[in-house]
Structure 1
Amino acid sequence: MTKLQIVMFPWFASGHVTPFIHLANEFATKGHRVTILVPKKIQLQHQHLSLHPPNLIAFSTINVPHVEGLPDGAQSASDIHISLNHLLATAMDLTRNQVETFLRSSKPHLVFYDFAHWIPEITSQMGVKSVYLSVVSAASLAIALVPARNLPVNRPLMVEDVRDPPPGYPSSTVVLSGNEASSLLFLSSPFGDGITFFERSIAAMKNCDALCIRTCTELEGPLCDYMGSQFQKQILLTGPLLPTNAASTTCLEDRWARWLGRFEPGSTVFCAFGSQIMLDKDQFQELVLGFELTGLPFLVALKAPLGCETVEEALPEGFEERVKGRGVVYGGWVQQPLILSHPSVGCFVNHCGFGSMWESLMSDNQIVLVPHLGDQILNTKLLTGELKVAVEVERESENRWFSKESLSKAVNSVMEKDSKVGIMVRSSHAKWRELLSEPGFISGYIDGFIKNLEDIS
C-alpha cells in the first residue's frame, strides 16, 4: 500500500489545530507522513500533542502578515478578542502564496483544511485531493445552511431568518429564542476581506473532494445524512477524534494534582470556557460568585475578563478570603483532559465548544453548560435536548447572561445524589459514555475514515 503524503492547514485557533493533530497522529500510526502548516506560536503551543517523530509528523511555519487592526504579533485566535476574528481571517488568506509554494514543492496526496476555502483552487490545478474537515458538529453545519432556507441573496440575516431550522432539518428540538437566533447572525458578517463567514464556509464545503465531519453516526447520523443531501456528497466521519492514550503519556501538573487530591472523589467542580472566550467583568464576577454559592470545591480556568490584565484583579471583593482552601480561579492554560479524569472532579461546567463537548461525553463527570456563541448553543441543544446528558444554566432574561443563583442551581441539580435531574442525566450520560468507550469504537471510525481516504487519493 502506498504511504500517503498529507498536508494540513487548519484555522489558526486551538480548537481547530488540536483535532487536526489528533488526526495526524492516527495517520502517522499507519505509516503515513503528515506536515502541519501553522504559525510558529501555535506550533510551540501544540507540538507536544504529536505522538510521533518528525519523519512522520512535521510542523512547517507559516508567517502571519500584519493586518491593520490586529495587535502586533497576533498569530492565533487566542491572541485576540473574538470580534477581531475577521481580521485574522484576512491575515490567513494573505498566506495563500506561502501555502501554494509549499504544496507545489512537497506534492502531497491529500490536503486537509477548514476555513481556507481557497485550498481547492490550488489543489485542483495540481491533481491533489482536497479534504474539508469540520471540527464543529453536524448540527451546527446543518442549521447554518442558508440556501436551504431559500432566502434573498445579498441581504444580511435577520433573527426571524434563523429562529427555526431550515427545511428538512432532522431535529424537532432546535427552535431558537430571539437571543439564541441572534448569535447566528455572524454568518452574514465579514470573515476576511470581501467575504462573509457563510460564503467562506459554503465554498470550503462545496468545492472539496471529500467532506469530513468530526462526529459519529450514533450521535448525529440523520444530521450527517441531511448534510450529504444538501451538498450531494458522501460525508466521511472521523468519530470523536480524541487521544485514547493521553493519560498514559502525560502527567497532571503537580500543583493541580496536589490541590485536587485534597477533596473527596467526585466532589469538585471544574470550569473552563476554551481558549478564546473573554467574559465581561460583571459576567466573570457573577460566574465565580455562583461557584462560591454552590458550597462545593471548585477550580475555574478562564482568561482574564475584558478590561483586566489578570483574573485576580477582576475577582469580587473578599472572594479569595471566603473561598480560601476550597476554590481557585486561574487565568492560565491547564491540562483539561487530565483534570477531567482526576478522581476528585465530579462536574464539568463548560461552554460546549465541540472539543469540550466530546471530552464531556467521554468523562465520568456531570455536565453543566453555559454556551456563549452560535455553534455552542446548538451543541448544547444536542446534549440537553436530544441526548439528555447535561443541563444548561438558565438565563434570567433575553438580555442577561445568567445569575450566580442560576449557575449554583444548575450545578447543585446535577451534583446532589438524590436530585431527579442529576439521576436522569447521570443515567443517560453513562449509556453514551459506555457506547463511546467500547473497545474498537473510536479506532473503528478512524480505520474506516483512513481507508476511505486511501481509496480516493
Structure 2
Amino acid sequence: MESKFHAFMFPWFAFGHMIPFLHLANKLAEKGHRVTFLVPKKAQKQLEPHNLFPESIVFHPLTVPHVNGLPVGAETTSDVPISMDNFLSEAFDLTHDQVEAAVRALKPDLIFFDFAHWIAKLAKEHMFKSVSYMIVSATAVSQLHPPGSSLGVLPPGYPSSKVVFRENDAHAVLTDSIYYERLYHQLTTSLKSCDAIALKTCKEMEGKFCDYISRQYNKKVLLTGPMLPEPDTSKPLEERWSHFLSKFPPGSVVFCALGSQIVLEKDQFQELCLGMEMTGLPFLLAVKSPRGLSTVQEALPEGFEERVKDRGVVWGEWVQQPLILSHPSVGCFVNHCGPGTLWEGLMSDCQIVLLPFLSDQVLFTRLMTEEFQVSVEVSREKTGWFSKESLRDAIKSVMDKDNDLGKLVRSNHTKLKEVLGSPGLFDGYVDNFVEVLADLINVKT
C-alpha cells in the first residue's frame, strides 16, 4: 500500500508565490497526501478559493511581526512598494519561532520553501526533509549571480544560450537591486542546504538549465511541470467581459495584463495606454493603478476615454485571465513574462508580446523571444523605459498577418503548444514528482 505523507508549505509572502505553492498543494492533495500551508493571517481569505481540497489542505495562519520601516498591517508584497520588500523580508524571517512551533506540534514529513533560507537547518534539526521549490523559471535560477557581479557573463559549463542581460535592461535590474543582495543570499543558501530542488517547469522547455542547476548545486532536481491550475468550469466569464469581447471579430482583441506585483509610474502607465490606443485595435488593459493613485481612471491620458470608448477598456482590478485568453475574439496577449502568466499564454492560441520588468522576467523573455522564437519583446530605450511607439510596433508585428516576424512566432508557438499539450505530459510530471518525493522521505539519513 502506498504510504501517504504530510507536507508543510512555506512560500515567500507574495501572492505570485503563494498561489503557485497552493497549485502544487492541490496536486498533492489530489493524490491523497496532507498539506499544512503556512500563510499570513490576512492572506488566508484570498487563498481559500484556490484550495480545491479543504479537507486535506489546512491553512496555518502566521502573525507577521512588525519591523521598523514596514507599514502597520502590511503582510504581503501587495501591501508595500517593491522598495520596502527588504522590511517585509525581515518580518518574514522573524516568523521562525512560529514555524518551529508548528513543526513541533504537527510533525511534517517534508517542507516546501523558497526564500526562508533557515528552513533547511530547521528541517535537519527536527528530522524531516526540505525541498527548495522555485516558482521562477529555471533560466533565472541558473543565472543567479553575486551582487555587484557583471550581468550576462556566463559561468563555465553554462548551457549554450542567448539568455543574457543587455544594456537597456537597466530598469529591470535596478528595480529589484534594492533588495537583490538579501534575495541572492536567501536563494543560494536555500539551494545549497536543502535536500532537493524542485522547479516549476519541464525539460521540453528548460531541460539544459535544469541539468546545469543540478550540477551547480550537486542536488537532485525535481520537475513539477508548469502546474497550471485546472480551469474553473463552474464560473463563466463575467458578463461585462463576455459582452465587450463578443463585439469584435475572432482574434482581433489585444489583452494586456501585468500581474499583481508590477506597479507603474504614472508616465509609464500613460505610455502603456497610448501604445494600446495607437495600435488601432480593440483592447482590454488590466493593470494596477499607478504608484500613488487609487484608481486607473484618474491617471488616464487626456481625452483617452473618449477616443477609445467603443474599442478599449482600462481595468484596475482582478480579471478572469484564463477565460479571457480562451475567448475567440482575443488574439494577442501582452504580459510581463511572469512564469505562471507566460505558461497560460503558451497554452493559449494568442500571439505573445512580452514586456518584462524584473530580472527573472527579462531572462525568461530572452528564452521565449530569441531561442524558442514564440513571442516578441517590446524594445526599450537605453534608460530602460518603453515608449508607446515601441509597444505599438511590437503588437502590430504579431497582429499583422502578412508580417514575417508575426508568421514566424505564430508558427513556432503552434508547434511548441502541440508538444506541451501532448496527452498525459503534464500529469506524467506530477506522478513522477510525487513518486520521487515519497522515495526521498523514505531515505534513511
TM-score, normalised to structure 1's length? 0.93
- How much does 1:310 deviate? 1.1
- How much does 1:190 deviate? 4.5
How many Å separate the matches in 1 of 2:413 and 2:46?
32
Which amino acid is the alignment partner of residue 375 of structure 2? A
- How much does 1:227 deviate? 0.5
2:281 to 263, 279, 296: 296
Aligned to 1:44: 45
How many Å separate the matches in 2 of 1:144 and 1:130?
21
Q: How does 1:100-119 map to 2 (within 5 A)?
A: 100-119=100-119
Q: Is the 8 A contact 1:187 1:198 kept in 2?
A: no
Aligned to 1:151: none
How many Å separate the matches in 2 of 1:239 and 1:23?
10
2:392 to 408, 422, 439: 408
Aligned to 1:220: 206
- How much does 1:186 deviate? 7.5
How many Å separate the matches in 1 of 2:405 and 2:16?
30
Q: Secondary structure at the match of 1:121?
A: helix
Any idea what the Cα deviations from partners look like across 1:11-57, whole Å, max 9, x if unmatched? 111111111111111111111011111112222112211211x2211
Q: Does 1:263 align with 2:254?
A: no
Aligned to 1:74: 74
Which amino acid is the alignment partner of residue 425 of structure 1? V
Aligned to 2:161: 172
Any idea what the Cα deviations from partners look like across 1:157-202, whole Å, max 9, x if unmatched? 05xx1232222221331232224267447887546xxx72111111
Aligned residues: 440
How many Å separate the matches in 2 of 1:61 and 1:172?
42
Aligned to 1:153: none
Which amino acid is the alignment partner of residue 148 of structure 2? L
How many Å separate the matches in 2 of 1:208 and 1:186?
29
How many Å separate the matches in 2 of 1:214 and 1:186?
24
Q: What residue ranges of structure 1 are gaps of 5+ in the alignment?
A: 147-155
How many Å separate the matches in 2 of 1:256 and 1:98?
43
Q: What residue ranges of structure 2 are gaps of 5+ in the alignment?
A: none
Query: Runs ≥4 in structure 1, deviation > 6 angstroms?
Result: 185-188
- How much does 1:400 deviate? 4.6
Q: Secondary structure at the match of 1:248?
A: coil
- How much does 1:253 deviate? 2.2
How many Å separate the matches in 1 of 2:195 and 2:132?
8
Q: Is the 8 A contact 2:266 2:290 kept in 1?
A: yes
Q: Does 1:162 align with 2:151?
A: yes
2:306 to 302, 321, 333: 321
Aligned to 2:320: 335
Change (3 A) 1:189 1:292: closer
How many Å separate the matches in 2 of 1:292 and 1:379?
27
1:347 to 296, 312, 332: 332
Q: How does 1:10-409 map to 2 (within 5 A)?
A: 10-52=11-53, 54-146=54-146, 156-158=147-149, 161-180=150-169, 183-184=172-173, 190=179, 196-243=182-229, 245-395=230-380, 397-409=381-393
- How much does 1:145 deviate? 4.1
How many Å separate the matches in 2 of 1:271 and 1:88?
29
Q: Is the 8 A contact 1:368 1:391 kept in 2?
A: yes
- How much does 1:85 deviate? 0.9
Change (3 A) 1:275 1:163: same
Residue identity over aligned pairs, in percent, reads 54
Q: How does 1:406-445 map to 2 (within 5 A)?
A: 406-445=390-429
- How much does 1:246 deviate? 1.3
